[in-house]
């Protein structure tokens, strides 16, 4: 979907002609007679501002319906409520930490079994799938090492037992990747990241492929009630207007940053699906529309938390913070921040080295970002009297 279509799929207000979407800050709607209304009765069930966002997101992803939730995790939670005790999930092994916590500490307790596998090899999914599998859950690319899984192949495997394929499309965004067209049934987004895009809100989105799934998710959304408020719906819509522009610039910056990092003498490994050396580059290229995202991770030759700590406290444009996808560049040290709750052994097994640093490129000028990283390398060298070999 092009920027033209995205922008013009956002309707102006039919009542007043307001070109931007009004914020309907209301809890209830007056009825002409009991049950006779203008399509809205109570704001948990539906709200006109939220409806615009939900319709736009469904269109962005090419789905049947969209649903807006209070956070990305609330969106994930709503999808998990499709399950019953005894059902099983096959999930990507380096799943988002918050999803892992929800699966393990909430849903396993309720009788849902989760198997974690490396989904970059679709065989691993095929070997585990059974009639008990109700959801196959992948992220592609993953956080923070940007592993890419073959959505189309995994979709065929899921279908063979009637399971739904869920894709967390947060990192690729609808600009780079259209999972429904590749065989996914449900998409979730942390709207907090690229879709919102300005680090000023938390939001979650679900997009369903079929009417049957839409009805089920709609029921859960209303029954559980973790909806997104109208003001945050407005901000998310406003974010979507510039999504393509921002995402493409972020991809361009990430490319420039990755190219700089692979040549830097203090850097050990660079993780970026746009590099031909990335082990899932060919599938990423095929599946992601030639766009590889705005996230670049790297490890240092001096593979210690201390060295990473030094680096992440010496950048100026890259702000040290969790989250990603906003217009301002951010960086984080996953072993001490986003992935601190995972035991070190398990972290190392999934490729998260002690010195791993994750960059989320914003929309600044790429040379400014490179200069910033360069001076951070220089200042760690200086702070420990480092002599270039
Ligand atoms: C941030 C994130 C989430 C959770 O979203 P919140 O809005 O923080 O609840 C889920 N999946 C991925 C890939 C994320 O990056």
Q: How many CB atoms lie within 10 A of CB 289?
A: 13
Mutation pick for ligand 1 pocket among 192, 194, 202, 338 (CB with most ligand atoms within 8 Å): 192
Do 107 and 254 share a structural domain?
no
Report whether residue 170 contacts ligand 1, using a CB cutoff of 6 Å: yes
Residues 250 and 375 in one domain: yes
What is the tally of structural domains in the chain? 2
On whether both 116 and 190 belong to a single domain, the answer is: yes
Q: What is the pLDDT along the chain (389 residues), one digit of tens a residue?
A: 688 999 999 999 988 999 999 999 999 999 999 999 999 999 999 999 999 999 999 999 999 999 999 999 999 999 999 999 999 999 999 899 899 999 999 999 999 999 999 999 999 999 999 999 999 999 999 999 999 999 999 999 999 999 999 999 999 999 999 999 999 999 999 999 999 999 999 999 999 999 999 999 999 999 999 999 999 999 999 999 999 999 999 999 999 999 999 999 999 999 999 999 999 999 999 999 999 999 999 999 999 999 999 999 999 999 999 999 999 999 999 999 988 878 899 899 888 999 999 999 999 999 999 999 999 999 876 665 544 44
Give a yes or no: residue 389 inside a domain: no
388 part of a folded domain:
no
Do 172 and 266 fall within a single domain? Answer: no
343 SS3 class = coil
Helices (H), 62-150: 72-80, 97-102, 122-128
| Partner residues linked to 319 by β-bridges | 330
Residue 149 in contact with ligand 1 by CB distance below 6 A: no
Looking at the CA of residue 139, tell me the nearest atom of ligand 1: 13
CATH code of the domain containing 40: 3.40.640.10
- Contact between 232 and 203 under an 8 Å Cβ cutoff? The reply is yes
What is the torsion angle, in degrees rounded to the nearest 10, for the CA atoms of residue 357, residue 358, residue 364 and residue 370?
30
Q: Is the CB of 202 under 6 A from ligand 1?
A: yes
Tell me: do 212 and 253 sit in the same domain.
Answer: no
| 168 annotated active-site | yes
351 lines ligand 1 (CB under 6 A): no
Give the integer Cα–Cα distance in Å for 48 and 46.
7
Whether 141 is in the pocket of ligand 1, judged by its Cβ within 6 Å, is no
Whether 224 and 263 share a structural domain: no
How remote is the CA of residue 17 from the centroid of ligand 1, in Å? 35
Domain CATH for 296:
3.90.1150.10
Q: Which atom of ligand 1 is nearest to the CA of 324?
A: 15
Active site residue 164: no
Residue 306 belongs to what domain range?
Answer: 244-383
Domain-terminating residue out of 211, 241, 271: 241
- Check whether residue 310 and residue 370 sit in a common domain: yes
Distance from residue 73's CA to the centre of ligand 1 (Å): 6
Secondary structure class of 89 (helix, strand, coil)? strand
179 and 267 in a common domain: no
């Amino acid at each position: 979907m092009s920027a033209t279509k995205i922008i013009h799929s956002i309707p102006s207000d039919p009542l007043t002609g307001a070109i931007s979407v009004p914020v309907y800050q209301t809890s209830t709607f007056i009825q002409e007679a009991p049950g006779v209304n203008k399509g809205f009765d109570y704001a948990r069930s539906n709200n006109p501002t939220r409806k615009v966002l939900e319709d736009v997101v469904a269109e962005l992803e090419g789905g049947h319906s969209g649903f807006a939730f209070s956070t990305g995790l609330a969106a994930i939670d709503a999808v998990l409520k499709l399950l019953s005790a005894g059902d099983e999930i096959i999930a990507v092994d380096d799943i988002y930490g918050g999803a892992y916590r929800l699966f393990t500490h909430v849903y396993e307790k309720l009788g849902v079994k989760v198997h974690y596998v490396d989904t970059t090899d679709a065989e691993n999914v095929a070997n585990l799938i059974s009639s008990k599998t109700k959801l196959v859950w992948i992220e592609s690319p993953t956080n923070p090492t940007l592993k890419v899984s073959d959505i189309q192949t995994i979709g065929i495997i899921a279908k063979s037992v009637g399971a739904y394929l869920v894709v967390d499309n947060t990192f690729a965004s609808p600009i780079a990747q259209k999972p429904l067209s590749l065989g996914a049934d449900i998409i979730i987004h942390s709207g907090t990241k690229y879709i919102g895009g300005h680090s000023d809100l938390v939001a979650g989105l679900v997009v369903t492929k079929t009417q049957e799934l839409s009805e089920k998710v709609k029921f859960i959304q209303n029954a559980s009630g973790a909806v997104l408020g109208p003001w945050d719906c407005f901000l998310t819509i406003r974010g979507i207007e510039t999504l393509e522009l921002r995402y493409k610039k972020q991809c361009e910056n990430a490319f420039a940053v990755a190219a700089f990092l692979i040549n830097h003498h203090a850097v050990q490994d660079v993780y970026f699906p746009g590099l031909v050396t990335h082990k899932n580059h060919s599938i990423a290229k095929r599946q992601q529309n030639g766009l590889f995202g705005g996230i670049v991770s790297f490890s240092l030759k001096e593979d210690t938390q201390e060295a990473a700590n030094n680096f992440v406290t010496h950048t100026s444009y890259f702000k040290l913070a969790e989250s990603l996808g906003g217009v301002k560049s951010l960086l984080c040290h996953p072993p001490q921040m986003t992935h601190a709750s995972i035991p070190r052994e398990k972290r190392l097994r999934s490729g998260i080295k002690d010195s791993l640093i994750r960059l989320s490129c914003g929309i600044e000028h790429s040379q400014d970002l490179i200069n910033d990283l360069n001076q951070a390398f220089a200042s760690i060298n200086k702070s420990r009297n480092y002599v270039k070999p």
